[in-house]
Amino acid sequence: MNLASEWITRGVSKLRSPEPVQSPAEGGKPAAKVLPVRSTHERLKATLRRGAEALAPRVLRRLMEDLQAASAEQVSEVEGGRRAKDVMDWYATAPAGERQDLWLLVCEQFGPDAERLQRARQHYDEADSELERGQAEIALRRALSSARTRLLQRFAVPAGGMRFLLDLRAELLALPKSDKRFAALDAELEHLFSTWFDVAFLELQRLSWDSPASLLEKLIQYEAVHDIRSWTDLKNRLDSDRRCYGFFHPRLPGEPLIFVEVALVDDLSDSITPLLDESAATADISRASTAIFYSISNTQAGLRGVSFGDSLIKHVAQTLSAEFPKLRTFATLSPIPGFRTWLAKNGTPLLARMADKPRGELARALGIAPKLPLDAAVLLEAAEKAAQLPQNSPVRRALLWCAAHYLGKESHNGRPLDPVARFHLGNGARVERLNWAGDPSAKGARQSFGLMVNYLYDLKKIDKHRGLLAQGRIPVSRDIESLIKG
Which tens digit of pLDDT belongs to each residue from 358-413?
Answer: 999 999 999 988 778 899 999 999 999 888 899 999 999 999 999 999 999 999 88
Q: Of 434, 408, 409, 424, which Cα lies nearest the Cα of 466? A: 424
Per-residue model confidence as pLDDT tens digits over 153-170: 999 999 999 999 999 999
Q: Is 226 a catalytic residue?
A: no
Q: At what angle do helices 147-155 and 96-109 cross, to 10 degrees?
A: 140
Distance CA 271, CA 333 (A): 8
Given pLDDT bands bounded at 50, 70 and 90, which one contains residue 143? confident
List beta partners, residue 264.
291
Per-residue model confidence as pLDDT tens digits over 74-117: 999 999 999 999 999 999 999 999 999 999 999 999 988 778 88
* Mean pLDDT (whole number) for 430-434: 98
Asked if the model's pLDDT at residue 430 lies above 90, the reply is yes
Averaged confidence pLDDT in the chain:
90
What is the structure's pLDDT at 12? Answer: 35
Asked if the model's pLDDT at residue 133 lies above 90, the reply is no
List beta partners, residue 430.
456
Q: Is 334 a catalytic residue?
A: yes
Identified catalytic residue from 226, 249, 405, 424: 424
Distance CA 402, CA 406 (A): 6
Q: At what angle do helices 57-71 and 147-155 cross, to 10 degrees?
A: 80
What is the structure's pLDDT at 334? Answer: 97
Amino acid letter, 45:
K
What is the structure's pLDDT at 15? Answer: 34
Q: Answer with the residue of higher pLDDT: 301 or 4.
A: 301
Given pLDDT bands bounded at 50, 70 and 90, which one contains residue 37? confident
The predicted model scores a pTM of 0.84
What is the structure's pLDDT at 33? Answer: 60
Burial of 228 from C-beta contacts in 10 A (0-12 / 13-18 / 19+)? buried
Identified catalytic residue from 334, 405, 448, 465: 334
Q: With H, G, I as helix, E, B as strand and everything else as coil, classify residue 412.
A: strand
Amino acid letter, 57:
P
